Amino acid sequence: MRLKDKVALITGGAAGIGRATAERFVEEGAKVLITDVNEEEGQGVAGYLGPNATFYPMDVSDKRVVQKVIAEIVKGFEKIDVLVNNAGILRDGLLVKVVNGNLVKEMPEKDFDLVIAVNLKGVFNCTQAVAPVMIRQGGGVILNTTSIVGLDGNMGQTNYVATKAGVIGMTKVWARELGRFQIRVNAVAPGFTATEILASMPEKIIDAMRSKTPLGRLGNPRDIANAYLFLASDEASYITGAVLRVDGGIVVGT
């Protein structure tokens, strides 16, 4: 019961790593608040997890909506001990594709802007709304989802990599700014993890991911959730500004 009586807010909690983290936190005694744009899935997860889980529909890219939901949560639960900024999307594509010297395709601006809005600005919006709550209550934990590609880069992911590298930078800034208020800020960098996103990929690509991972397997969402659990708990009370790789030992691109 490492999170007994803690109130934890998890964005993007309707599926994948977010759902696994919500489940793990409930197991450890937390009251979990799940947010997502997918209301049907989010309500389903909260119902499955039982009375210690509550769902709130929320688009992290909309600052007004974020502030409204955070105010509602604080009114109902009086505090937020842990924020897990997990919500994120993919819109992969090459920066440019050139055939015989001719530009035939490029990453659409709308795909770049959308990923930035959710994966980077969304983390900013949620943290900016929750930080004053944590300051007033005397402390808290903020955990940001980055990725190994934010550290190593990856083909076809200009927009996604930009957001995940940006999240690492914000994590380090906020660890400095908020430390004096006893707020710890850390990031987790998952490797290739068997979530719904990977399920839609061709098997040969998944096999390639597996073969390049020294431990010989993909991660599962619970592997990542366990990292969040550790960083959220008092066992990590002297850890802030860190980026924890949970990746099976892979270095992208090798």
Per DSSP, the three-state class of 228 is: helix
Positions marked active-site: 160
Return the amino acid letter for 90.
L
- Counting Cβ atoms within 10 Å, is residue 185 exposed (0-12), middle (13-18) or buried (19+)? buried
**Alpha-carbon gap, residue 162 to 164, rounded angstroms:** 6
Q: What is the 3-state secondary structure (H, E, C) of 4-46?
A: CCCEEEEECCCCHHHHHHHHHHHHCCCEEEEEECCHHHHHHHH
The tokens for 95 are 């920066």
Pairing relationship of beta strands 102-106 and 96-99 according to DSSP bridges? antiparallel
Nearest to 183 by CA among 139, 226, 227, 213: 139
Q: How far is CA 187 from CA 28, 83, 111, 184, 246, in A?
A: 20, 11, 24, 10, 11
Q: How many residues does the chain have?
A: 254
Could you tell me which residues come within 8 angstroms of residue 177 by beta carbon, excluding any fewer than 6 positions away?
A: none
